[in-house]
Structure 1
Amino acid sequence: MKTIKKPVQVEINVKKSQFICSLFPTKNKKESKEIIQRLNQQYSDATHNCTAYIVGDGEGFDDDGEPGGTAGKPMINVLRKNEIHNVTAVVTRYFGGIKLGAGGLVRAYSKSVMEAIGEAEIVEIEEYDVFELVFEYSDIKTVDGEVRNNSLEAIDKDYSDKVIYQVISRDSRDIKKIFEKYSGKISVEFKNKQFLEKMSL
């Protein structure tokens, strides 16, 4: 599965209409909606802000006033065709005075997203199980050793009253099995599944 590494923006002009495609890496609908809302405010003077997203908890699109099926659907179709996931696309249009017709709109919105994908840095992503480990400072060396020796990956570390690691694995049974022997000393809790950039675990 693929996604984009960082946001990218491209601009094309079709018969005096300006199309600005903004692509953002996003993990869920909440992030997508926040981005769409922000761009709607940023480009509040635009004729249309059409959107499409494919994220971990769903997908969707919106024509934002363009004729039905001429904007959002072609945009999401381009994302699907290129197998791009965890992404939100917003195409902002400033009308140039010349109507493009349904076919012209489909081509323009599709091309905007295609051009943006062409400019983006594409990375492979995989689904990982995310676990939270909670333990005392005195057990840091033990936990670090188990993470390293079992080819796990700590994606976040928090040092407060206790130490909290967010650890990922492709197989949840691995983490549970590894830390079973430390029952009572190291708390292990499954948090969620996440699509993350592919790691050499």
Structure 2
Amino acid sequence: MKTIKKAVQCEINVKKSQFICSLFPTKNKKESKEIIQKLNRQYSDATHNCTAYIVGDGEGFDDDGEPGGTAGKPIINVLRKNELHNITAVVTRYFGGIKLGAGGLVRAYSKSVMEAVGEAEIVEIEEYSVYKLTFEYSDIKMVDSEVRNNHLTTIDKEYCDKVIYEVVSPDMIDIEKIFEKYSGKISVEYKNKQFLEKI
């Protein structure tokens, strides 16, 4: 599966109308809706803020007042054609005084998204099971050694009263099994599944 590494923005002008396409990597509908609300506020003076998203828990699109099927659908179609997931697209339009017609709108919204996708850094993503390791500071060396020797990947580290690592196994090795010999010293807890850049 593919997504974009980081947010990107691209601008095109068609017959005096300005189209600004903003793409964001997003995990779920909640994140997508927060981004869409934020851009609606940022571009509250725009004629339209048309949107589309494809995320883990669903997909959707919105014409935001443009004639039905001329904005949201072309946007999501470009995302699908490029096989992009975990992504939200917002195309902001400032009307330039010249009507584009249905075909012109479809072409303009599609082109703005294609330009942005062309500028984005595309990365492969995969779904991984994330585990949380909790242990004492005195055990850091031992845990680091096990992580290295078993080709695990640490995606987050937290240093509080105890040390917390979030780890994934690219080879789907049983992480609980690796650390069962340290029972009592290292707490291993399944956290969730996440789409991460391919390891």
TM-score past 0.5 threshold: yes
Question: Cα deviation per residue 1:72-117 (whole Å; 9 max; x = unaligned)?
Answer: 1111111011011111110000111121121111111111100100
SS in 2 for 1:161: coil
1:136 aligns with 2:136: yes
Instruction: After TM superposition, list the pairs within 5 Å mapping 1:24-43 onto structure 2.
Output: 24-43=24-43
SS in 1 for 2:174: helix
Aligned counterparts of 2:59 and 2:168: Cα–Cα separation in 1: 25
Question: Cα deviation per residue 1:150-174 (whole Å; 9 max; x = unaligned)?
Answer: 1001111111111110111246552
The root-mean-square deviation of aligned C-alpha atoms, in Å, is 1.2
Structure 1 contact 129–171 (Cα < 8 Å) conserved: no
Q: Displacement of 1:4 after TM fit?
A: 1.0
Identity %: 86
Runs of 4+ aligned structure 1 residues displaced above 3 Å come to 170-173
User: Partner residue of 1:51?
Assistant: 51
Question: Cα deviation per residue 1:44-66 (whole Å; 9 max; x = unaligned)?
Answer: 00000001111222211111111
Structure 1 contact 127–170 (Cα < 8 Å) conserved: no
User: Partner residue of 2:109?
Assistant: 109
User: Partner residue of 2:14?
Assistant: 14
User: Partner residue of 1:66?
Assistant: 66
User: Partner residue of 1:169?
Assistant: 169
SS in 1 for 2:97: coil
Structure 1 contact 3–87 (Cα < 8 Å) conserved: yes
Structure 1 contact 54–87 (Cα < 8 Å) conserved: yes
Aligned counterparts of 1:144 and 1:173: Cα–Cα separation in 2: 16
Task: Give the number of equivalent residue pairs.
Answer: 199
Q: Normalized against structure 2, the TM-score is what?
A: 0.95
Structure 1 contact 11–21 (Cα < 8 Å) conserved: yes
Q: Displacement of 1:17 after TM fit?
A: 1.0
Aligned counterparts of 1:64 and 1:170: Cα–Cα separation in 2: 41
Aligned counterparts of 1:121 and 1:29: Cα–Cα separation in 2: 22
SS in 2 for 1:125: strand
Structure 1 contact 21–116 (Cα < 8 Å) conserved: yes
User: Partner residue of 2:197?
Assistant: 197
User: Partner residue of 1:122?
Assistant: 122
Aligned counterparts of 2:177 and 2:191: Cα–Cα separation in 1: 16
Structure 2 contact 2–85 (Cα < 8 Å) conserved: yes
**Which ranges in structure 2 are unaligned for 5 or more consecutive residues?**
none
**Which ranges in structure 1 are unaligned for 5 or more consecutive residues?**
none
Deviates more, 1:13-22 or 1:167-176: 167-176
Amino acid paired to 2:100: L
Aligned counterparts of 2:57 and 2:80: Cα–Cα separation in 1: 15
Deviates more, 1:172-181 or 1:61-70: 172-181
